Amino acid sequence: MSPNPEVNNADRSIPAPDALSALQQSWTQAHSAAPAQEPSVPTNLPLRESFLSLRDIPQITFDQARGAFTMTDPAYPADWKEQIRQLRNRLNSAQVELPDPNDLLQVIAFTNMDGRRPRHGTAANLALAMAAIQDTRVLVIDANLSFPRLHTDLNVPAAPGLCEVNRASRIAMPQCFRRVAGTQVYFLTVGDTSAYPMDALDLRGLHVVLHSLRSQFDWILIDGPGFDTAADTMAITMATDGVIMMIESEHDSFRLVAKALSHVQGRRMLGAVMF
């Protein structure tokens, strides 16, 4: 989480504070002549009240879930923890100050260049910080289909989870989720990806589920796939209100990050977390 001074590639380096703006400018210039067309997604889905019975969700103890909340470890750097709190405050302010009441900032995806690389528990840590604010419910979803980690951190089975929730009946759905006792943090693990070899994620089902869950959670944070599986990343990001990109300065070149920006659409970029 600690900012690194530079993002390097073979041609040049970009100072970290200017990296995102430079990348967005590059994306805009490259696409100004022919704006990219987004895939068609449903926009008039019915909002079903009490889509998920939160009272029926199984609970796990905080100690069991501690592996997901790396910021609770005494060795977790204090400046990283402060950056988590700053990110929470900025997102809350942005949500309140949306200029258009029809705009949404509630479902956010985290992604990086390679889904195998660690993300230092950023999504779960942010959820814990958000839920510390009174009456704030936060859901964390593991959508890193090729390299899921959340179920391991929570010490729970991977399934049932996201793969099943897209196809589950309303009655069966609570068993796909977990709540951390004593908090307002909820988790949805990845599910059994091997059971659906063609498409582990039902795209339309994902849109329906996320749309319906908006009424029950203040924030939905998706730990998404990396751009090494671009098709999955695009499917996830198209279902969200915004994307936060995680960039490792010692591994990710300007060229790779610029290519990633072209996939997620510049207007969906909320910012970047630099490692």
Domain borders along the chain are: 55-274
Return d(Cα 67, Cα 260) in angstroms, integer: 29
Most confidently predicted of 52-56, 67-71, 264-268: 67-71
Q: Which residues of 67-93 are buried (b: 16+ CB within 10 A; e: fewer)?
A: bbbbbeeeebeeebbebbeebbeebbe
pLDDT at 190: 95
Most confidently predicted of 7-11, 151-155, 223-227, 246-250: 151-155
Mean pLDDT lowest for which of 81-95, 112-126, 172-186? 112-126
* Contact in structure between 83 and 216 (CB atoms under 8 Å): no
Strands 219-223 and 107-112, by their bridges, are parallel
Q: Is the pLDDT of residue 50 over 80?
A: no
Return d(Cα 96, Cα 164) in angstroms, integer: 33
Return d(Cα 15, Cα 32) in angstroms, integer: 25
Return d(Cα 57, Cα 176) in angstroms, integer: 8
Q: Is the pLDDT of residue 131 over 90?
A: yes
Q: Is the pLDDT of residue 1 over 70?
A: no
Q: Is the pLDDT of residue 123 over 80?
A: yes
pLDDT at 269: 81
Type of residue numbered 49: E
Q: Which fold has domain 55-274?
A: Rossmann fold (3.40.50)
* Contact in structure between 117 and 111 (CB atoms under 8 Å): no
Type of residue numbered 202: D
Q: How confident is the model at residue 33 (pLDDT cuts 50, 70, 90)?
A: very low
Q: How confident is the model at residue 255 (pLDDT cuts 50, 70, 90)?
A: confident
Average pLDDT rounded to a whole number, residues 58-80? 94
* Contact in structure between 39 and 264 (CB atoms under 8 Å): no
User: The pTM is what?
Assistant: 0.81
Contacts of residue 119, defined as CB under 8 A and 6 or more positions apart, other chains included, come to: 110, 112, 223, 246
